[in-house]
Structure 1
């Protein structure tokens, strides 16, 4: 009897199937240091215990996207080990900050299936929850991924495409307990721009760019324990290239957005996201943001801002899709998220 695991293929999934993912991971300051080294992240709330405590939190949490990557990485052996590509995200909420010493694990439920017309692959929709050692849900999201079939002749499942909300309503955002921006130090944060300084429809060119290196991508993908074959095995794709993990592009773009959005401190909602085109080593990532919406919150001095974060490999700003409605070839990422910002 074989003891190794080749991973699930499209025909191995069933609607309602619950996947309990191995292996739990206790996080420490090491994840923070490596995250800041790889991207490098500079938001003050995630860099300084003193700044976080002045904002009403017990200490500086782990970056929201670092927590996301850890939870996501747990799901890969069961969801996307044999993926062709990760396609999109929706209905994401960050429910509790993650602190050093917390232990994270992941559970997913299959909520949709659709075989592709070529009969060689299909799209699997899963809702994933990340839980801590107290069984509290720290984050949740839906993602959909294209997965190969092992047997092209395997019968197609009934097509079920989940009806997902286009956005997370502002009133459903969870503000961390105790968060208070009334004494916010804009000098230490790095920029003077507050919630009231941003207008819906405003586009911000974040100016800076980073060329993706193979070594850094491999370090990041291993750090998050992401085992998807497309990221490691150059023989897995017809073009012989290793696909850059989409989360690496997300974090790189979020970090680059610091220049112009240094005070968009906490990510609390993930409305939608698409990896529009593949990213490979040697591509230079630049990004721009569009302000989509704004909302006040019940937390003192805290506003919510909805942003579209677009990463490109051609440096274009403000351009997203062509006349045919498809993403332009230079667009790598289209991410719609909510962040918290001082009023």
Structure 2
């Protein structure tokens, strides 16, 4: 007997399924707990004091220690995957990311995205989709927002070519558009508890910092991370989804690992408040040892007591000499995994 009932399963969206102006409400809302923090700190050598200690957070003017900024990002990001990047070839970049409110234990997060651009690739087999995503809490407050663009396969190669729309995006979020968490006060900052004495005034624009340490990425922890963040992208789970039979390490896993490694030299860059841009320059596979270095790109004062903003380039590599980013051809060197441009808050 032929089954004529409509399919109940979902193979995900393909490039031809996106139109500029579409708004996608993503399933499934998630209430975060102390478990997310514990697992985040188990997956990465994360030890920034503000996210480790309620007492340190209270001394800094917050009611208690919030969820790590990148953990909140992963929760919001993971919800978008079934609708945006389930059939992705690669996640290409980020822009205009802002953390607008701290996320605390007990908050329920959900995500929604608007399609703001599409461009079919010349091969006719895939295209790039631009989305602006917002993460909202149970009070419908936007806790964070960002733009990302993803290369997505076409399901029907004969589908019409859409009109190309490439959004104009800020290359850098102006410092006066950064949102400082309400009540944040670093005027009584505890440098002994934070782990380093370096403050905002000790860093100079153009300075580079080798974070020294390295961590080898294992399959088990990557699989745990993608499940924790409910990231269902096939290239992270299914060895048949890539021609070489490997599972691609989730780009957010590389971001969090590099951020954690940056503690050695930037322990007082406590809070991420802006994501100016980012590129996953080369794929990362299990067995890769990730190292990191940073460059100070800019500095700005804020209106919060004792708080300065510092703009940093964070680069994750699989080896090679630090501070080498691109070759003579202008392309990323093969060992560069991540190039991330972000704003963080630091005691003056």
Which residue pairs with 1:21 in the alignment?
26
Q: 5 Å matches for 1:197-236?
A: 197-236=202-241
Structure 1 residue 65, shift from structure 2 partner:
0.2
Tell me the distance in 2 between the aligned counterparts of 1:26 and 1:308. Answer: 32
Structure 1 residue 66, shift from structure 2 partner:
0.1
Tell me the distance in 2 between the aligned counterparts of 1:175 and 1:150. Answer: 43
The equivalent position to 1:252 in structure 2, one of 247, 257, 268, is: 257
Tell me the distance in 2 between the aligned counterparts of 1:89 and 1:18. Answer: 19
Note the aligned Cα RMSD (angstroms): 0.4
Contact 1:287 1:315 in 2 (8 A): no
Structure 2 gaps, min length 5: 1-5
Structure 1 residue 40, shift from structure 2 partner:
2.0
SS in 2 for 1:23: strand
Structure 1 residue 324, shift from structure 2 partner:
1.2
> 1:77-102, CA deviations, whole angstroms, 9 ceiling, x for partnerless residues?
00000000000000000000000000
1:54 aligns to 2:59 (yes or no): yes
1:11 aligns to 2:6 (yes or no): no
Tell me the distance in 2 between the aligned counterparts of 1:151 and 1:239. Answer: 24
SS in 1 for 2:55: helix
1:179 aligns to 2:187 (yes or no): no
Which residue pairs with 2:3 in the alignment?
none
The equivalent position to 2:314 in structure 1, one of 286, 296, 309, is: 309
Structure 1 residue 315, shift from structure 2 partner:
4.0
> 1:261-286, CA deviations, whole angstroms, 9 ceiling, x for partnerless residues?
00000000000000000000011100
Tell me the distance in 2 between the aligned counterparts of 1:159 and 1:2. Answer: 32
The equivalent position to 2:339 in structure 1, one of 310, 320, 334, is: 334
SS in 1 for 2:240: coil
Which residue pairs with 2:326 in the alignment?
321
Tell me the distance in 1 between the aligned counterparts of 2:321 and 2:185. Answer: 37
The equivalent position to 1:283 in structure 2, one of 283, 288, 311, is: 288
Which residue pairs with 1:170 in the alignment?
175
Q: Which moved more, 1:309-318 or 1:16-25?
A: 309-318
Normalising by structure 1, what TM-score? 1.00
Tell me the distance in 2 between the aligned counterparts of 1:199 and 1:207. Answer: 19
SS in 2 for 1:73: helix
> 1:93-151, CA deviations, whole angstroms, 9 ceiling, x for partnerless residues?
00000000000000000000000000000000000000000000000000000000011
Tell me the distance in 2 between the aligned counterparts of 1:315 and 1:270. Answer: 26
The runs of at least 4 aligned residues of structure 1 exceeding 2 Å deviation read none
The equivalent position to 2:102 in structure 1, one of 75, 78, 97, is: 97
Structure 1 gaps, min length 5: none
Structure 1 residue 323, shift from structure 2 partner:
1.3
Structure 1 residue 316, shift from structure 2 partner:
2.5
Tell me the distance in 2 between the aligned counterparts of 1:240 and 1:142. Answer: 30
1:72 aligns to 2:77 (yes or no): yes
Which residue pairs with 2:114 in the alignment?
109
